[in-house]
Amino acid sequence: MANGPGYLKVQGVDIVDPVGKKVILKGAATGGHLNMENFITGYPGHEHEMRLALLEVLGQEKYDFFFDKFLDYFFTDADAKLFASLGLNAIRIPINHRHFMDDEKPFEIKQDGFKLVDRVVELCAAQGIYTILDMHTFPGGQNQGWHSDSGLHRALFWENWDLQERGIKLWVEIAKHYKDNTWIAGYNPMNEPADPVHHRLQSWYARVEPAIRAVDPHHILWLDGNTYSMDFTAFKTVLPNCVYAIHDYSTMGFPAGTPYTGSSEQKDTLRKQYERKVEFMREHKVPIWNGEFGPVYASPGETDYNATNQQRYDLLGEQLSIYKQDQICWSIWLYKDIGFQGMVYANPDSAYMKLLKPFLAKKKRLGLDKWGRDDQHVRHIYDPLVEHLREEIPEVSQKRRYPQHWGLDGHVHRVVRELLVSELLTYEFASYFEGKSFEELDELAASFKLENCLKRDGLNKILQEDAGLSGS
């Protein structure tokens, strides 16, 4: 491993190194590696459901073999070198808490989780890349989305003190393990919290921060806002040596959104969206981190996909120009996937993509995944249900359902499509792996090796150009 650079720290609105030089971290999240997500690797629903279904189909030995290979191949020395070659200097590592703890033994920390994270941290450090450790899931779910891997439509984490204590216990053990590693730029204690009553998140931050500091007084904490890291209105005070994080996705970068044309009105919308989210940081004069953003890209075979992707590159470029003005740190979503957002993505001719091609087409037709969803084939099924509920449920009651910005239709789709239908189709997904030999499973996992993937050159060029402007 390369020699450690010394701890980064917060100094006013900046992040600085041990000699006081400003550091601007620019990079991406590894994505569906240590926290898998449905649209990233192709399964429906939630990671823990998918893993249980594959365990049933493969048996323990083949199950362990496949996931060991997948985790090895997904991020290697070659990936870290590619990342560094683009001038990017930080990787956010989303982590599923289940790598460290089981519900059956809730306060026992599994040491295998550290081995998985250590490997990525060390590969990045060898290339001079900082890492930020992001706890992407929590027992009971810290938000209502698929990516908290709860399998629920409620965030039970906020309703249960014991679940919150488990989260704190986990972070204390992680901080003990990494307290001396200065290639770690800090800890992102919770991804996209969504506390319906808004004040419990601040209470949890006020408990987890001193618990971490008691064993690791040096590392920065990167704290997400409430409601999927978009809302700081209930935040009243700042904690020491902390950076506050927004997530700044634009609907113009998604299939259901208005296409980005670069009009003055659209640029103004992007600026106002950003300014609303960072008002708290400006008021309290603390650093800003955009921990997630980025469009979804069209695939070959889709109508005018080149033109669509150029629009989304233009959108990304405009967002980066906003962040450049404030010289903030940022981390796009994401590094590697099966073709939606990744800087790198699995080749359609790879074993994994060819095996799952019929299922992925079905999943797309059914509009199962919220991320990048296209409803054209199922709108006639769901619209009548949503309209029926809209007519029967008083509007005031509809608006009580948090998060309110989802609207009634968003909540219906979460429960019906993303929970019920997706859970049932998990078994069909798993059936594609039935009877596979060890050699075949190795080939499937190897589809995610960098040498077998394609690079999204248009995206990487934009990121490289922006990283070159940072001087960091």
370 within 8 A of 413, measured Cβ to Cβ? yes
Q: Is the peptide bond before 334 cis (omega within 30 degrees of 0)?
A: yes
**Nearest residue to 434 (alpha-carbon basis) of 63, 38, 41:** 63
Give me the residues paired with residue 243 across strands.
Answer: 222
User: Which secondary structure element, helix H or strand E, spans residue 246, and what is its range?
Assistant: strand 242-247
The pLDDT score that the predictor gives to residue 103 is: 86
User: Which secondary structure element, helix H or strand E, spans residue 200, and what is its range?
Assistant: helix 199-215
CB neighbour list of residue 450: distance below 8 Å, 6 or more residues apart: 76, 78, 79, 82, 344
pLDDT band at 203 (very low <50, low <70, confident <90, very high): very high
CB neighbour list of residue 385: distance below 8 Å, 6 or more residues apart: 412, 416
**Nearest residue to 428 (alpha-carbon basis) of 370, 361, 347, 373:** 361
CA distance 22 to 14: 6
As given in the structure block, the two tokens for residue 264 are 């003055």
Rounded mean pLDDT, 384-413: 95
pLDDT band at 31 (very low <50, low <70, confident <90, very high): confident
Mean pLDDT over all residues of the chain?
96
pLDDT band at 118 (very low <50, low <70, confident <90, very high): very high
The pLDDT score that the predictor gives to residue 384 is: 97
Query: CA torsion sign, 345 to 351 to 356 to 358?
Result: positive
As given in the structure block, the two tokens for residue 431 are 């059936």
Buried b (16+ CB within 10 A) or exposed e, 41-53: bbbbbbbbbbbeb
pTM over 0.85? The answer is yes
Q: Is the peptide bond before 403 cis (omega within 30 degrees of 0)?
A: yes
| pLDDT tens-digit map of 94-117 | 999 999 999 888 889 999 999 999
Query: What torsion do the CA atoms of 150, 156, 158, 161 make, to the nearest 10 degrees?
Result: -110
The pLDDT score that the predictor gives to residue 472 is: 43
The pLDDT score that the predictor gives to residue 1 is: 45
CA distance 324 to 350: 37
Question: For residue 470, is pLDDT > 60?
Answer: no
Task: Quote the radius of gyration of the chain (alpha carbons, Å).
Answer: 21
pLDDT band at 4 (very low <50, low <70, confident <90, very high): confident
**Nearest residue to 138 (alpha-carbon basis) of 105, 163, 171:** 163
| pLDDT tens-digit map of 277-312 | 999 999 999 999 999 999 999 998 888 999 999 999
Give the pairing type, strands 26-29 and 329-332. parallel
The pLDDT score that the predictor gives to residue 3 is: 59
Percent share of the chain, pLDDT over 70: 99
pLDDT band at 471 (very low <50, low <70, confident <90, very high): very low
Active site residues: 192, 292
Rounded mean pLDDT, 5-32: 97
CA distances 226 to 36, 142, 277, 293, 406, Å, are: 22, 10, 11, 16, 15
DSSP state of 296: P
| pLDDT tens-digit map of 135-191 | 999 999 999 999 999 999 999 999 999 999 999 999 999 999 999 999 999 999 999
Angle of CA points 426, 66, 370, to nearest 5°: 35
pLDDT band at 256 (very low <50, low <70, confident <90, very high): confident
